[in-house]
Structure formats: C-alpha cells, structure tokens
C-alpha cells in the first residue's frame, strides 16, 4: 500500500530518496487542455511514480472542467513520425495507449507495435466517451480498436467501455466476468475492468490475466472530482509494469495510487476536477 500523506504541508524541500534505475514509459494519447485527463494526466502519473514520461500526441481537444468543445486529430504521418523518433532514441520500458481519435491513427499505432515494439508491456485504455458525455470515437474507430486489443498486454476498460466492446450489459459481478471472457476471446492478453462506474461502497476492479480472474479490492471515494481517473489508473499500471512488477501487483499498486489521489482530489475550475496526482508529495485546498 502507498502510505497516506501526512496532514498539512511539508516543512520544506525534501531530500531525494536513493536513486532508482531510470525507466522510460511512453503514452500515446490525446491532449486535454484542462490537464486533468489524457496525456497530461499520464505524464503527471509517470512523474509521481518516478518513471520518465515520453509522449506521442494523437489528437488535441478544446476542453475545460465543464465540457469538451472540440477535438482535432493529428495526421497519421505525424503520429508515426513521433513514434519513430522516440523509438530511435529512448529505451521504452512500457507503453500506455489512450484516446487515439480515429481509425487511421489507431491503425498507425498498431503498425508501430507490430513493426517496432516487442520489448515490453502495452497497456491499452479504450477511451470512447468523456465523463461529460462527449463521444470521442466513430464506429469505424471502435472496430480498429478491437484489432489493437490483440497487441495489448492488458486492456483496461471501464464498465461502459467493457459493455460496448463485449456487447453485453454489465450490471453484476457475474456479467463483468462474462464481459472479461469475451474481451479475452477478442485477443486481449489480459483484461482489467475498472469498477469506478459501479455502485455501492466498493469500487473493485476485475483483473483477468494468465492465472484467471482476480478482484482488486478498493473503497469507493465519494467525490465529484474524478476527471482523468481511468487515464491515471492505466498509466500507473504501465509505470509499475515498467518497473518490473507483476501484473497483479502492478494493478494493486495502481489501485492504491488512484484511491489516495481521489481522496485528496482537486477542483481548479468550476466543474468536476481531477484527482491529485502528487498526493504523496503535497496536498492542496481546492
């Protein structure tokens, strides 16, 4: 478990801990101009968990804490150029894939994974709809996403996304298990179905990996400031996998990190805010 941050503010600059091996983790995702989700959330998570974050931008959004007002995808050529440039220089220890925006960019990322990247884990977060209800992906992009799933070490849908991908309505733990089986049958290496969109006092995640199903238990944190929670969990999972943790251990540590981030969440704008990615370093009053 990640320790609970102490109350109040640190007295001053803290001495650095003992050096750790440098790990590079790449996020391929969309920019969130409000910086609570997307590649900004990924990079904050990487920094907080002491890995070096790299980024390839697939699309940009105009959004704030109230709504997404516009989305524009970069060209597939530009997405590929970013990936090749990063692969040419950095030892990429893990890749987190978020919102890619369209079918063309999804296929470009799939081609890159097949041609260039066989060194480490791939965490695919199949982002489809924003918390405010903005639908990001057209139907053809959803189909391309299903092909990308076959190249992922672990796919991390929330409950609505797992329902879309599996074609099932998920209202119980049994239905979540059936959805995970269907996603594995589509070719995903492992599946982590996040429980934040469920109901009740628990917000448990279901991990189905090579050793079968495993429930990652966690309390539900009642806060309106949940923007970027799914992005953050998936990027934390990628960071811990890059550090050599097993998939169950990485999933549990990522769950702890997000839970504490929600407990100390932020509200910088007028709408729902993000979790506090740096809760282990400082707390802020919203």
Q: Is 171 left (phi over 0), alpha (psi -120 to 50) or beta?
A: alpha
Which of 96, 194, 243, 255 is catalytic? The answer is 194
Which of 189, 228, 261, 273 is catalytic? The answer is 228
Beta pairing partners, 28: 56, 97
CA 163 to chain centre: 18
Residues in contact with 214: Cβ distance below 8 Å, sequence separation at least 6, in sequence order: 206, 207, 208, 248, 251
Which of 226, 243, 255, 259 is catalytic? The answer is 226
CB 38 within 8 A of CB 61: yes
- Whether 153 is catalytic: no
Q: Among candidates 130, 152, 166, which has minimal Cα distance to 234?
A: 152
- Whether 30 is catalytic: no
- Whether 259 is catalytic: no
CA distances from 13 to 22, 221, 282 (A): 22, 30, 11
Which of 27, 229, 232, 259 is catalytic? The answer is 229
C-alpha 8/C-alpha 156 separation (Å) is 34
Which of 53, 198, 218, 230 is catalytic? The answer is 230
C-alpha 232/C-alpha 38 separation (Å) is 9
- Whether 232 is catalytic: no
C-alpha 76/C-alpha 178 separation (Å) is 35
Q: What b/e sequence results for 100-133 when a residue is b if at least 16 CB atoms lie within 10 Å of its CB, and e otherwise?
A: bbbbbbbbbbbebbeeebeebbbbbbbbbebbee
- Whether 226 is catalytic: yes
Question: What tokens does 219 get?
Answer: 């309390």
For residue 269, with 0-12 CB atoms within 10 Å meaning exposed, 13-18 middle and 19 or more buried, which class applies?
middle
The count of residues in the chain is 286
- Whether 229 is catalytic: yes
Residues in contact with 16: Cβ distance below 8 Å, sequence separation at least 6, in sequence order: none
Q: Known catalytic residues?
A: 194, 226, 228-231
């Amino acid at each position: 478990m990640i320790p609970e941050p102490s109350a109040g503010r640190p007295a001053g600059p803290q001495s650095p801990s003992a050096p750790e091996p440098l790990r590079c983790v790449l996020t391929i995702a969309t920019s969130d101009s409000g910086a609570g989700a997307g590649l900004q959330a990924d990079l904050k998570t990487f920094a907080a968990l002491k890995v070096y974050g790299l980024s390839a931008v697939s699309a940009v959004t105009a959004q704030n804490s109230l709504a997404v007002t516009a989305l524009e995808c970069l060209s597939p050529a530009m997405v590929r150029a970013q990936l090749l440039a990063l692969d040419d220089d950095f030892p990429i220890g893990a890749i987190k894939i978020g919102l890619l925006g369209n079918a063309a960019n999804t296929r470009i990322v799939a081609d890159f994974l097949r041609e260039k990247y066989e060194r480490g884990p791939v965490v695919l977060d199949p982002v489809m709809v924003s918390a405010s209800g903005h639908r990001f992906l057209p139907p053809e992009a959803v189909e391309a996403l299903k092909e990308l799933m076959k190249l992922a070490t672990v796919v991390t849908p929330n409950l609505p996304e797992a329902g879309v991908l599996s074609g099932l309505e998920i209202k119980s733990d049994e239905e979540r298990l059936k959805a995970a089986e269907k996603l594995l049958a589509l070719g995903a290496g492992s599946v982590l179905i996040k429980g934040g969109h469920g109901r009740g006092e628990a917000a448990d995640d279901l991990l189905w990996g090579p050793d079968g199903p495993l429930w990652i238990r966690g309390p539900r944190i009642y806060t309106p400031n949940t923007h970027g929670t799914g992005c953050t969990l998936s990027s934390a999972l990628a960071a811990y996998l890059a550090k050599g943790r097993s998939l169950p251990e990485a999933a549990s540590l990522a769950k702890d990190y997000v839970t504490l981030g929600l407990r100390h969440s932020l509200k910088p704008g007028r709408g729902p805010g993000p979790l506090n990615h740096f809760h282990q370093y400082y707390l802020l009053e919203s």
